[in-house]
Amino acid sequence: MFIANEKQIKKGLTTDIYFARTEKILQEMHINKTVVAEVTVQSLPHSWAVFVGLPEVLELLQGKDINVWAMREGTIFTSHDENGIPIPVMVIQGIYKDFAIYETPLLGMICEASGIATKAARIKKVAFDKIVLSFGIRRMHPAIAPMIDRASYIGGCDGVSSIIGAETIGKKPSGTIPHAFIINLGNIADAIKAFDKYTDPDVPRIALVDTYGDEKLEAVQAAEAIGKKLYGVRLDTPRSRRGKLSDIIREVKWELAIRGFKNVKVIVSGGLDENTIPELIKAGADGFGVGTSISNARTVDFAMDIVEMDGKPVAKRGKFGGRKKVYRYKKNGETKFAVVPFNKPFNTKAEEMLIPVIKKGKIIYKEPDVDDIRKYVLKQLKEINETF
């Protein structure tokens, strides 16, 4: 399979070749300059993003004679502060050749995970207290399923579909039944009865109701087949048959309610994102299975740049030289960031955002429980005022 294992990544085999060549030349020339490198992003897909991927970066960098500071996993940040200065999410200090070959994998670890977590957070913000399940692993390489599901959960998804992804976050995988199962059984009634008979009692009975017939008719058939055991029905109607999905939701809920199944939830999947979900909530949708828009979310295009060498500010064109501190504070009820030179004092009530995570090669960051990280994200989401 075309995948790199952990040993190959740590050996630097997934880096861009010019970093390996740089390391070799610096070694041959005995150049051992101590640098400070920072990770920033010049622009974001949206107005804010969620920083995710720190534990993998620490695993990559541990053992090297370097010091690392970073934002806490799950921090929501903007690309620039109020004065237009790029906000570092991570800072590395050490002899450059000791960590040069890790720039490429380091950026890959946080760029993709942060993009996925950000999309999940945007969807959860508009979904409010509705159920959001991450279904996107089938659209991406299976080797990264654990990362996708972890980032999705941290971003706000209530559950994930892959077995290994759920295991990674210490949860049970979430899912319904596939069309293939219904086709094998012949119809939704027989399929949901078989599912009910052979599946563990603690798994919610959710019927997929758009395989052969009208959604509201199949929903009623499923409800009548197992009665009050039916937790919900899922609409995954193809675009070619969809019409107006919000009207289908209303019809399904109406037909179920007048037959005594008003508590059956309607879960919707297929081509959803933060722009399509609000209308479906108004129509009565109770939850969403979101796939490609989360797993294939736009990456956060982080870059790593040297900003200090042997204690003196340096930077390439377009970057701001010198080591910096990042603060977060409230202004008129809104969260703001400030980037200041390292030795410049700032508002004592502001929160310093770059915390020590590696000291002389040893990991000193204690990773919070994944549920605590998720709660941290959701708490920050409540403070964001944004119209979708």
Reported as a single tens digit per residue, the pLDDT across 220-234 is 999 999 999 999 999
Residue 120 belongs to a domain: no
Q: Are residues 258 and 287 in the same domain?
A: yes
Whether the Cβ atoms of residue 225 and residue 217 lie closer than 8 Å to each other: no
Contact 211, 182 (CB under 8 A): yes
304 and 270 in a single domain? The answer is no
Question: Residue 23: enclosing H or E segment and its boundaries?
Answer: helix 17-28
Task: Give CA 17 to chain center in angstroms.
Answer: 29
Instruction: State the chain's mean pLDDT as an integer.
Output: 96
Q: Output the domain CATH number for residue 70.
A: 3.20.140.10
Contact 125, 274 (CB under 8 A): yes
Q: Are residues 141 and 290 in the same domain?
A: yes
**Distance from the first to the final alpha carbon of the chain:** 40
Give me the residue label for tokens 């004065």: 83
Q: Could you report the per-residue pLDDT of 121-150, keeping only the tens digit for each? A: 999 999 999 999 999 999 999 999 999 999
**3-state DSSP call for residue 302?**
strand
Distance of alpha carbon 274 from alpha carbon 277, whole angstroms = 6
Whether residue 137 sits in one domain with residue 213: yes
Q: Averaged over 324-346, what is the pLDDT?
A: 93
Is the residue at 119 inside a domain? no
What average pLDDT does the segment 279-306 reach? 97
Q: In this structure, are 178 and 277 located in the same domain? A: yes
Q: Where would I find the H helices in 243-360? A: 245-257, 277-283, 292-295
* 140 plus 210 within the same structural domain: yes
Smallest Cα–Cα separation from 327: which of 315, 312, 345? 345
Binned at pLDDT 50, 70 and 90, residue 385 comes out as confident
How many beta carbons lie within 10 A of that of residue 183, not counting itself?
Answer: 12
Length of the chain: 388
Let me know whether 286 and 167 are in one domain: yes
pLDDT on residue 253 = 98
Q: Does residue 98 sit in the same domain as residue 133?
A: no
Strands 230-235 and 265-269: parallel
The range of the structural domain enclosing residue 93 comes to 6-114+298-382
Cβ(220)–Cβ(246) below 8 Å:
no
Where is the domain boundary, 280, 295, 310? Answer: 295
Contact 56, 90 (CB under 8 A): no
Is residue 334 included in any domain, yes or no? Answer: yes
Q: Tell me, yes or no, whether 224 and 185 share the same domain.
A: yes
In DSSP terms, 159 is beta-bridged to 133
* Residue 388 confidence (pLDDT): 60
> Per-residue pLDDT for 373 more than 90?
yes
Amino acid identity of residue 351, one-letter, is: E
The domain that contains 194 carries what CATH number? 3.20.20.70
Per residue in 154-208, pLDDT (tens digit) is: 999 999 999 999 999 999 999 989 999 999 999 999 999 999 999 999 999 999 9
State the pLDDT at residue 241.
80
Say how far apart CA 173 and CA 215 lie, in whole Å.
Answer: 26
- In sequence order, what are the residues at sequence separation of 6 or more whose Cβ sits closer than 8 angstroms to the Cβ of residue 154? 50, 52, 73, 74, 117, 120, 370, 373, 374, 377
pLDDT of residue 238: 82
pLDDT tens, position by position, 247-275 = 999 999 999 999 999 999 999 999 999 99
Per-residue pLDDT tens for 307-321? 999 999 999 999 999
Does residue 240 carry a pLDDT above 90?
Answer: no
> How high is the pLDDT of residue 292?
97
Q: Using an 8 Å Cβ cutoff, are 290 and 135 in contact?
A: yes
Is residue 387 predicted with pLDDT exceeding 70? no
| Average pLDDT score over residue span 95-109 | 98
- The pLDDT of residue 325 is 97
